[in-house]
Protein backbone atom coordinates (compact mmCIF):
# COMPACT_ATOMS: atom_id res chain seq x y z
CA UNK A 1 0.00 0.00 0.00
CA UNK A 2 2.80 2.31 0.91
CA UNK A 3 4.52 1.60 -2.43
CA UNK A 4 1.44 2.34 -4.44
CA UNK A 5 1.09 5.66 -2.63
CA UNK A 6 4.63 6.67 -3.50
CA UNK A 7 4.25 5.75 -7.16
CA UNK A 8 0.96 7.55 -7.49
CA UNK A 9 2.50 10.66 -5.98
CA UNK A 10 5.29 10.85 -8.59
CA UNK A 11 3.15 12.29 -11.46
CA UNK A 12 1.89 15.06 -9.17
CA UNK A 13 5.44 15.92 -8.21
CA UNK A 14 6.48 16.04 -11.88
CA UNK A 15 3.56 18.32 -12.70
CA UNK A 16 4.52 20.62 -9.86
CA UNK A 17 8.12 20.74 -11.07
CA UNK A 18 7.05 21.37 -14.66
CA UNK A 19 4.77 24.21 -13.61
CA UNK A 20 7.47 25.76 -11.52
CA UNK A 21 9.97 25.82 -14.35
CA UNK A 22 7.62 26.75 -17.21
CA UNK A 23 8.42 30.19 -18.67
CA UNK A 24 5.92 32.89 -17.81
CA UNK A 25 4.20 34.78 -20.59
CA UNK A 26 5.21 38.38 -20.78
CA UNK A 27 2.36 40.87 -20.46
CA UNK A 28 1.95 43.82 -22.80
CA UNK A 29 3.97 46.85 -21.76
CA UNK A 30 2.13 50.15 -21.50
CA UNK A 31 2.95 52.55 -24.36
CA UNK A 32 5.38 55.28 -23.46
CA UNK A 33 3.92 58.73 -23.00
CA UNK A 34 5.03 61.20 -25.69
CA UNK A 35 7.82 63.53 -24.57
CA UNK A 36 6.72 66.97 -23.43
CA UNK A 37 7.05 69.75 -26.02
CA UNK A 38 10.25 71.80 -25.79
CA UNK A 39 10.08 74.95 -23.68
CA UNK A 40 9.06 78.21 -25.31
CA UNK A 41 11.82 80.80 -25.68
CA UNK A 42 11.33 84.50 -26.27
CA UNK A 43 9.96 83.62 -29.72
CA UNK A 44 8.81 80.45 -31.47
CA UNK A 45 8.12 79.84 -35.15
CA UNK A 46 5.30 77.73 -36.56
CA UNK A 47 4.69 76.56 -40.11
CA UNK A 48 1.07 76.42 -41.26
CA UNK A 49 0.94 74.09 -44.25
CA UNK A 50 -2.21 75.04 -46.18
CA UNK A 51 -3.79 73.71 -49.36
CA UNK A 52 -2.37 76.77 -51.13
CA UNK A 53 1.16 76.78 -49.68
CA UNK A 54 3.04 77.33 -46.43
CA UNK A 55 2.91 80.27 -44.04
CA UNK A 56 5.59 80.66 -41.37
CA UNK A 57 4.74 82.78 -38.35
CA UNK A 58 6.85 83.97 -35.44
CA UNK A 59 5.12 84.26 -32.08
CA UNK A 60 6.31 86.69 -29.43
CA UNK A 61 6.22 84.61 -26.26
CA UNK A 62 8.18 87.21 -24.29
CA UNK A 63 5.65 89.96 -24.96
CA UNK A 64 2.44 87.89 -25.01
CA UNK A 65 3.10 84.75 -22.91
CA UNK A 66 -0.54 83.80 -22.22
CA UNK A 67 -1.67 84.08 -25.83
CA UNK A 68 1.38 82.34 -27.32
CA UNK A 69 1.25 79.49 -24.79
CA UNK A 70 -2.41 78.97 -25.71
CA UNK A 71 -1.66 78.97 -29.47
CA UNK A 72 1.17 76.47 -28.99
CA UNK A 73 -1.08 74.10 -27.03
CA UNK A 74 -3.20 73.81 -30.17
CA UNK A 75 -0.10 73.36 -32.34
CA UNK A 76 1.70 70.80 -30.15
CA UNK A 77 -1.44 68.71 -29.58
CA UNK A 78 -2.27 68.60 -33.30
CA UNK A 79 -5.58 70.39 -32.76
CA UNK A 80 -4.82 72.88 -35.54
CA UNK A 81 -4.32 70.07 -38.08
CA UNK A 82 -7.36 70.33 -40.36
CA UNK A 83 -8.37 73.81 -39.19
CA UNK A 84 -9.64 76.16 -41.88
CA UNK A 85 -9.34 79.75 -42.99
CA UNK A 86 -12.97 80.72 -43.41
CA UNK A 87 -13.23 84.52 -43.54
CA UNK A 88 -11.64 87.29 -45.62
CA UNK A 89 -12.61 90.78 -44.54
CA UNK A 90 -12.06 93.27 -47.38
CA UNK A 91 -12.38 96.82 -46.06
CA UNK A 92 -14.03 99.25 -48.49
CA UNK A 93 -11.47 102.03 -48.07
CA UNK A 94 -7.79 102.46 -48.83
CA UNK A 95 -6.00 100.28 -51.34
CA UNK A 96 -6.12 96.49 -51.59
CA UNK A 97 -5.23 94.42 -49.74
CA UNK A 98 -6.96 96.12 -46.82
CA UNK A 99 -8.42 93.89 -44.15
CA UNK A 100 -7.73 90.52 -42.60
CA UNK A 101 -7.88 86.75 -43.04
CA UNK A 102 -9.46 84.74 -40.23
CA UNK A 103 -9.20 81.05 -39.42
CA UNK A 104 -9.36 78.53 -36.62
CA UNK A 105 -11.60 75.84 -35.21
CA UNK A 106 -14.98 77.50 -35.70
CA UNK A 107 -16.24 74.24 -37.27
CA UNK A 108 -14.62 71.93 -34.69
CA UNK A 109 -16.04 72.68 -31.22
CA UNK A 110 -14.75 69.41 -29.74
CA UNK A 111 -11.16 70.54 -30.34
CA UNK A 112 -11.56 73.76 -28.38
CA UNK A 113 -9.72 74.44 -25.13
CA UNK A 114 -10.99 76.83 -22.44
CA UNK A 115 -10.88 80.58 -23.17
CA UNK A 116 -7.87 82.60 -22.07
CA UNK A 117 -7.36 85.96 -20.33
CA UNK A 118 -7.05 88.94 -22.65
CA UNK A 119 -3.57 90.43 -23.27
CA UNK A 120 -4.09 93.98 -24.61
CA UNK A 121 -1.46 95.72 -26.70
CA UNK A 122 -1.19 98.33 -23.94
CA UNK A 123 0.44 95.56 -21.88
CA UNK A 124 2.34 93.63 -24.58
CA UNK A 125 3.65 96.66 -26.47
CA UNK A 126 2.72 95.04 -29.80
CA UNK A 127 0.69 96.69 -32.56
CA UNK A 128 -1.65 95.62 -35.35
CA UNK A 129 0.50 96.10 -38.43
CA UNK A 130 0.36 94.26 -41.77
CA UNK A 131 1.29 90.62 -41.19
CA UNK A 132 0.30 90.63 -37.51
CA UNK A 133 -1.44 87.65 -35.91
CA UNK A 134 -4.25 88.63 -33.56
CA UNK A 135 -6.70 86.55 -31.54
CA UNK A 136 -10.34 86.61 -32.60
CA UNK A 137 -12.81 87.16 -29.76
CA UNK A 138 -16.22 88.36 -28.71
CA UNK A 139 -15.89 90.01 -25.29
CA UNK A 140 -12.37 90.35 -23.86
CA UNK A 141 -11.42 87.05 -22.20
CA UNK A 142 -13.38 84.84 -24.64
CA UNK A 143 -10.56 84.08 -27.13
CA UNK A 144 -9.93 80.37 -27.65
CA UNK A 145 -8.49 79.13 -30.97
CA UNK A 146 -9.52 81.43 -33.82
CA UNK A 147 -7.11 84.10 -35.00
CA UNK A 148 -6.61 86.64 -37.77
CA UNK A 149 -3.71 87.58 -40.03
CA UNK A 150 -3.77 91.25 -41.02
CA UNK A 151 -3.30 92.20 -44.66
CA UNK A 152 -2.88 95.89 -43.80
CA UNK A 153 -2.13 98.11 -40.82
CA UNK A 154 -5.17 98.16 -38.51
CA UNK A 155 -3.90 100.06 -35.50
CA UNK A 156 -7.51 100.79 -34.53
CA UNK A 157 -7.43 97.22 -33.17
CA UNK A 158 -4.79 98.26 -30.63
CA UNK A 159 -5.92 99.00 -27.09
CA UNK A 160 -6.96 102.63 -26.64
CA UNK A 161 -7.33 103.46 -22.94
CA UNK A 162 -8.65 106.94 -23.87
CA UNK A 163 -11.55 105.59 -25.93
CA UNK A 164 -15.13 106.09 -24.73
CA UNK A 165 -15.87 102.55 -25.92
CA UNK A 166 -15.01 100.01 -23.17
CA UNK A 167 -14.34 97.33 -25.79
CA UNK A 168 -11.95 99.58 -27.73
CA UNK A 169 -10.14 100.42 -24.51
CA UNK A 170 -8.85 96.83 -24.46
CA UNK A 171 -8.65 96.23 -28.21
CA UNK A 172 -7.48 92.86 -29.60
CA UNK A 173 -4.55 90.66 -28.59
CA UNK A 174 -1.69 90.79 -31.09
CA UNK A 175 0.86 88.02 -30.48
CA UNK A 176 3.06 87.45 -33.54
CA UNK A 177 3.64 88.12 -37.22
CA UNK A 178 4.23 86.37 -40.54
CA UNK A 179 7.90 85.92 -41.47
CA UNK A 180 7.34 84.15 -44.79
CA UNK A 181 4.37 83.22 -46.94
CA UNK A 182 2.47 86.51 -47.12
CA UNK A 183 1.95 85.69 -50.79
CA UNK A 184 0.04 82.60 -49.62
CA UNK A 185 -1.94 84.70 -47.14
CA UNK A 186 -2.86 87.06 -49.99
CA UNK A 187 -3.84 84.14 -52.23
CA UNK A 188 -6.23 82.78 -49.58
CA UNK A 189 -7.54 86.31 -48.88
CA UNK A 190 -8.35 86.67 -52.59
CA UNK A 191 -10.23 83.34 -52.71
CA UNK A 192 -13.93 83.28 -53.69
CA UNK A 193 -16.43 84.40 -51.05
CA UNK A 194 -20.08 83.54 -50.64
CA UNK A 195 -22.35 86.54 -51.28
CA UNK A 196 -24.94 85.25 -48.78
CA UNK A 197 -23.11 83.42 -45.97
CA UNK A 198 -22.15 85.18 -42.76
CA UNK A 199 -24.16 87.12 -40.21
CA UNK A 200 -24.28 90.86 -39.65
CA UNK A 201 -21.13 92.69 -40.72
CA UNK A 202 -19.58 89.35 -41.75
CA UNK A 203 -22.13 88.71 -44.48
CA UNK A 204 -20.32 88.28 -47.78
CA UNK A 205 -16.96 87.69 -46.06
CA UNK A 206 -17.12 83.89 -45.76
CA UNK A 207 -14.76 81.93 -48.01
CA UNK A 208 -16.42 79.36 -50.25
CA UNK A 209 -14.81 76.89 -50.25
CA UNK A 210 -12.88 77.25 -47.00
CA UNK A 211 -9.13 76.72 -47.18
CA UNK A 212 -7.74 73.90 -45.05
CA UNK A 213 -4.56 73.92 -42.98
CA UNK A 214 -3.17 70.41 -43.47
CA UNK A 215 -0.83 70.65 -40.49
CA UNK A 216 0.68 73.14 -38.05
CA UNK A 217 4.15 72.38 -36.69
CA UNK A 218 6.96 74.08 -34.81
CA UNK A 219 9.90 75.13 -36.93
CA UNK A 220 13.11 73.85 -35.24
CA UNK A 221 15.33 76.79 -34.26
CA UNK A 222 18.23 75.62 -36.42
CA UNK A 223 16.03 75.60 -39.52
CA UNK A 224 14.06 78.77 -38.80
CA UNK A 225 14.07 80.96 -41.90
CA UNK A 226 15.80 84.31 -41.57
CA UNK A 227 13.18 85.89 -43.80
CA UNK A 228 12.45 85.72 -47.48
CA UNK A 229 10.14 86.77 -50.23
CA UNK A 230 6.66 87.67 -49.18
CA UNK A 231 7.61 88.18 -45.53
CA UNK A 232 6.07 90.81 -43.29
CA UNK A 233 8.04 91.82 -40.24
CA UNK A 234 7.29 94.47 -37.65
**CATH code of residue 77:** 2.40.100.10
Residue at 83 is within a domain: yes
Percent of the chain with pLDDT over 70: 82
Among 51, 50, 88, CA closest to 207: 88
Given this model, what pLDDT does residue 136 score? 97
- pLDDT of 221: 83
Contact 211, 92 (CB under 8 A): no
Task: Give the 3-state secondary structure of residue 184.
Answer: helix
Percent with pLDDT over 90 in the chain: 74
Residue 69 counted as domain residue: yes
Could you tell me if 84 and 150 are in contact, meaning their C-beta atoms sit under 8 angstroms apart? no
What digits encode the pLDDT tens for the residues 91-150? 988 888 999 999 999 999 999 999 999 999 999 999 999 999 999 999 999 999 999 999
**Arithmetic mean of pLDDT, 169-187:** 98
Mean pLDDT to the nearest integer, 22-30: 62
In the prediction, which pLDDT does 32 show? Answer: 77
Q: Print the domain residue range for 151.
A: 43-220
Asked if residue 225 is part of any domain, the answer here is: no
Burial of 139 (C-beta count, 10 Å sphere; 0-12/13-18/19+): exposed
Q: Is residue 85 situated within a structural domain?
A: yes
Average pLDDT along the chain: 87
Reduce the DSSP state of residue 193 to 3 states and report it.
strand
Into how many domains does the chain fold?
Answer: 1
Q: Does residue 29 lie within any of the structural domains?
A: no
What is the CB-side half-sphere exposure of residue 90 using CA atoms within 13 A? 17
* pTM over cut 0.85: no
Q: Is residue 31 part of a domain?
A: no
Q: If you average pLDDT over residues 12-25, what whole number do you get?
A: 49
> According to the model, what pLDDT value does residue 95 have?
85
Q: How confident is the model at residue 36 (pLDDT cuts 50, 70, 90)?
A: confident
Whether residue 118 is contained in a domain is answered as yes
Position 33 confidence tier, pLDDT thresholds 50, 70, 90: confident
- Backbone φ and ψ for 162, nearest 5 degrees, come out as -85, -5
Q: What is the pLDDT of residue 22?
A: 52
Is residue 183 domain-resident? yes
Amino acid sequence: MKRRFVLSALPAALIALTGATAPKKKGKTAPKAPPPPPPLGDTVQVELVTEMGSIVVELNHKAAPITVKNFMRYVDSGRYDGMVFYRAMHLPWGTEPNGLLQGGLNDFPLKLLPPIPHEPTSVTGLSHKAGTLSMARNAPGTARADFSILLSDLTSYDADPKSQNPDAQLGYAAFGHVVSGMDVVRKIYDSPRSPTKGEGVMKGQMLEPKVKVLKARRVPPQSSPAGGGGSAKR
